[in-house]
Chain A
Amino acid sequence: MNETAAQIIIGVGLAFDLFGCIGLVRLPDVYNRVQAATKCVTLGTCFILLGTAVYGMSAAMGIKAMLCAVFILLTSPVAAHAIARGAYKSGVRLWEGSVVDLYGEEKHPSRPPDERTEPAQAGETLGAGRESG
């Protein structure tokens, strides 16, 4: 019974992990990728940890799994904010299909509007927009 429940929970977690990584590959710009990957992989890994706890090999393992799930739930959104903010400040542009950018208009008014939403060029590696700053 425990084993079946654990397998179902771990299976759901694996599916979410995989969706998150597919999103990481398919979505067009870094902000969308952060969204998809952070949400899906956080919850997916929490489900895997929950499954490990439900399987019930030993009490120590269950408690450590639950603590690890709490740590991940607390830390991974913070990492996502940090990356999104760092990406914006280092000059990565939004995808060309983006409809609104209030952050750029109010916080970075010196950046020309047409430079905010251009798609990042392939081969443009470190610090897009560093040369104009």
Chain B
Amino acid sequence: MTTFLLIAAAVLLLAAFLCLYRIGQGPTAPDRTVAIDILGTLVVGFCCIMALWTGQGFYMNIAIAWALLSFIGTIALAKYLEGRYYDE
């Protein structure tokens, strides 16, 4: 199981680096917002892997808190984007 979890963590890390590439490249602010949102969801996956690896239950508390807080953060960023009207 440990080998499997190691591979799983590596795959998630690769996915996270793809998100980081999109955050760095842009080219627009919404692109970066999407990548940040996705990165937040990937961290929840990481928390699951860590919980299985260490056998500690509290990682799941982190996962729940992270999922909800990353949602609020994304909504705030999206509202900020929407505030800049184009034709009003």
Contact = CB atoms under 8 A, between A and B. Distances in A.
B81 interface: yes
A24 B34 contact: yes
A17 B15 contact: yes
Interface residues of B, number: 52
A98 interface: no
Interface of A: 3, 7, 10-11, 13-14, 17-18, 20-22, 24-25, 30, 33-34, 37-38, 41-42, 44-45, 48-49, 51-52, 55, 57-58, 60-61, 64-65, 67-68, 71-72, 75-76, 78-80, 82-83, 85-87, 89-92, 108, 110-111, 120-130, 132-133
Contacts, number: 191
B6 interface: no
A20 B22 CA distance: 12
Contact of B18 (A25, A82, A133): A25
A85 B22 contact: no
B39 to A, nearest CB: 9
A18 B18 CA distance: 9
A85 B78 contact: yes
Interface residues of B: mostly helix, strand, loop or mixed?
A: helix
A60 B57 contact: yes
A92 B30 contact: yes
Contacts of A126: 28-29
A41 B41 contact: yes
A110 to B, nearest CB: 4
B27 A121 contact: yes
B87 A133 contact: yes
A82 B79 CA distance: 7
A30 B23 CA distance: 12
